[in-house]
Structure 1
């Protein structure tokens, strides 16, 4: 029998030659959809969409003499006197953009006073929600009458530096809107209701500079407190 001897080099050649290489190319038949863009900075989130907010306009409802109006949100027997504050986070950094912004979040709260001295929202131990309105594309998209839960936290209120850092969460029958704002504050202003419209109307306000930091307790307005949501901070 004839014996065949292979050198180590030949063995290596045979081994290499017997390999089969399979290319694993990319399969584009089911491409992965791109992730939706993530909005950073100040925003509110509604129905899974983020809306960028550029400024928050703040203020308190005043009378014709630019004095804060006193409201009784308690009962005749046990009155709770308070002032009515407004937060409007909106697109745009103009001083009138709170009136015209296509996307905005309005929040109105009552803040109990200390005797005849007003308490500012960031100082209050408790506040009472009057209402929240979500504006998307220039339209109100949630019924303010259907609010079931509310929370607010004010971390920074800097009038001199024109800065505010606050968060809110409001639950409606249609869903929950969450706001996270850290940026420019315009205010606080003195808001007056225009055209004699109802106290619950969100967009019927005119704004002036707040010149008096006192409360008119001689003409207290009674508020139905059955629909107010109390928040203990």
Structure 2
């Protein structure tokens, strides 16, 4: 254990799971070296940070108390002196680093059963939205598109509203961030995604609620349903 200099905890959201959570908690409390805790799905990073800070404050107080009161025996003093010589500067700070985007794009799919075979349908993120939700709250910040999903959204927008004023402007072949580029970066794709989201909201502002409804419905997958008995057998 003394040889461990750095630890990386991946999937730290398991701390809130039903199985093994106490192991995670024990490790995070007892770890004495610098560590990195990673998670792509934790819902309350600020709360976790506060808890880790309280743990660090405890260790800072405990270790300062031990240093101030090392014991009266000669052996204890020698050990303490040796530890002080070997001791490196410790940090008790905990820093939260938030990254708003995934490095890789994740797409969602719906699995259903048809004619004794599995059918996989793509689930576009916009399929989870309603016109009322967009109207009241906008598009949630945690809804992200892959580049393919952005193109799919544009295609469906063009199909639903053939006289769409920005049809040409937001055409992937004509979009400012894409045009005349040999390499389209992830930042370019994200910029295109944001423009489509703003335009979708703008449709509602322009009074095109029905077209937005048609668009969202067209993006929904149509999985094949089966009996509960078949679901239990197959899934």
Q: TM-score range by the shorter chain?
A: under 0.3
User: 1 or 2, which has the higher strand percentage?
Assistant: 1
Higher relative contact order (CA 8 A, sep 6+): 1
Please say which structure displays the higher CA radius of gyration: 1
TM, length-normalised to structure 2: 0.18
TM, length-normalised to structure 1: 0.19
User: 1 or 2, which has the higher helix percentage?
Assistant: 2
